[in-house]
């Protein structure tokens, strides 16, 4: 019995390694995010030093800076906090001049396990590796076969089907309603106090290394901006770090009518406008003009 279990476990490990190395498996959404985050951190170590680093969540990850690629590095990590990005910068072998620290989700923890995995042998030599459990792989193969028998043209994938009567606009409204409900509840005072102390410690560590730290609040849907939770977070950072420059969401959204995809994440049109408003700040820290 014990031998059979050992053999089964061994086969699962071998299967996972072969599937991952050959990229023949289907990664889940969570696995895809993990792989992307791991590779963003791993690439930081091999990147030529940049003047500016952005540390934050998926809101930061969506930012792109055309014409400033040689000046900026984006450590926006999906589902993570700016704390993780700050730890990457602190532990890295090169340091930027300025770090923009996103404040939108301070309650999240720094992900030390993610940083360690990004510095590991697997991330360095096989950046596309992803382990897919056998059950997941079989289920996804079954789904692919079902699509084939439904005569879906080769090269196309079925898009998620909205609920009856729910188009793109209705789906966005549904997502926004969920975020409104969440944002009506403030963070527990004890949690926020603890996280602000953690931010303060990491910011101080960066400053001791000669880095300039700038706080940045990325815009979200106007209906959420002044919700209790986001107002609480914004006010707490202003009070806790009065000496730091804070680029507010209000500044970045000036003159714009933001739509967002889900209340939190900006559309391509939103991002274009936000980056136009941010351009003077970026030009100042990069000490160059946009092309």
pTM, 2 dp:
0.78
pLDDT band at 154 (very low <50, low <70, confident <90, very high): very low
pLDDT band at 30 (very low <50, low <70, confident <90, very high): confident
| Co-location of 180 and 92 in the same domain | yes
Return d(Cα 161, Cα 129) in angstroms, integer: 29
Q: What CATH number did the domain enclosing 264 receive? A: 3.40.50.1110
Residue 163 lies in a domain: no
| Co-location of 60 and 17 in the same domain | no
203: Cα separation from own chain's centroid: 20
What confidence tens digit (pLDDT) does each residue in 46-91 have? 999 999 999 999 999 999 999 999 999 999 999 999 999 999 999 9
pLDDT band at 291 (very low <50, low <70, confident <90, very high): very low
Bridge-based pairing of strands 212-216 and 98-102 is: parallel
| Co-location of 98 and 141 in the same domain | no
Residue 158 lies in a domain: no
Residue 291 lies in a domain: no
Inform me whether the pLDDT recorded for 25 exceeds 60.
Answer: no
| pLDDT reported for residue 289 | 40
Residue bearing tokens 């926006």: 76
Q: 13 lies in which domain range?
A: 1-27+133-152
What confidence tens digit (pLDDT) does each residue in 225-262 have? 889 999 999 999 999 999 999 999 999 999 999 989 99
| Co-location of 178 and 255 in the same domain | yes
| Co-location of 143 and 254 in the same domain | no
| pLDDT reported for residue 170 | 80
| Co-location of 199 and 242 in the same domain | yes
Return d(Cα 198, Cα 184) in angstroms, integer: 24
Return d(Cα 254, Cα 261) in angstroms, integer: 19
| Co-location of 278 and 137 in the same domain | no
Q: Which residues of 40-77 are buried (b: 16+ CB within 10 A; e: fewer)?
A: bbbebeeeeebbbbbbbbbbbbbbebeebeebbbbbbb
Element (H, E) at 57: none
Average pLDDT over residues 116-133: 63
Residue ending a domain, choose from 152, 186, 203:
152
| Co-location of 141 and 182 in the same domain | no
| Co-location of 120 and 238 in the same domain | yes
How confident is the prediction for the chain on average, in pLDDT?
82
| Co-location of 100 and 183 in the same domain | yes
Q: Which two tokens stand for residue 248?
A: 């507010």
| Number of structural domains in the chain | 2
Residue 162 lies in a domain: no
Residue 157 lies in a domain: no
Closest alpha carbon to 37 in 90, 146, 114, 128: 114
Residue ending a domain, choose from 117, 152, 187:
152
Higher pLDDT, 154 or 237: 237
| Co-location of 239 and 104 in the same domain | yes
| Co-location of 202 and 189 in the same domain | yes
Residue 272 lies in a domain: yes
């Amino acid at each position: 019995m014990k031998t059979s279990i050992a053999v089964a476990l061994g086969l699962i490990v071998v299967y996972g390694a072969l599937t991952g190395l050959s990229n023949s498996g289907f990664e889940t959404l969570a696995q895809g995010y993990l792989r992307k985050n791991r590779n963003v951190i791993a690439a930081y170590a091999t990147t030529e030093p940049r003047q500016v680093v952005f540390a934050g969540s998926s809101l930061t990850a969506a930012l792109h800076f055309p014409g400033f690629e040689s000046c900026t590095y984006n450590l926006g990590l999906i589902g993570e906090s700016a704390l993780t990005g700050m730890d990457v910068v602190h532990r890295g072998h090169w340091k930027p001049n300025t770090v923009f620290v996103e404040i939108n989700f301070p309650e999240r923890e720094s992900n030390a396990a993610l940083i360690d995995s990004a510095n590991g042998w697997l991330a360095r030599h096989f950046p596309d590796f992803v382990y897919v459990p056998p059950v997941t792989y079989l289920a996804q193969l079954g789904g692919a076969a079902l699509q084939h028998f439904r005569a879906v043209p080769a090269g196309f994938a079925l898009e998620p089907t909205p609920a009856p009567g729910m188009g793109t606009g209705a789906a966005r409204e549904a997502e926004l309603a969920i975020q409104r409900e969440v944002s009506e509840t403030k963070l527990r005072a004890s949690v926020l106090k603890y996280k602000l102390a953690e931010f303060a410690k990491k910011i101080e560590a960066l400053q001791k290394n000669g880095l300039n730290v700038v706080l940045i609040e990325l815009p979200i849907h106007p209906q959420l901006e002044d919700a209790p939770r986001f107002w609480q977070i914004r006010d707490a950072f202003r009070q806790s770090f009065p000496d730091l420059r804070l680029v507010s969401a209000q500044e970045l959204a000036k003159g714009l009518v933001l739509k967002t995809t889900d209340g939190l994440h900006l559309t391509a049109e939103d991002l274009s406008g936000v980056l136009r408003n941010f351009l003077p700040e970026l030009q100042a820290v990069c000490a160059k003009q946009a092309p």
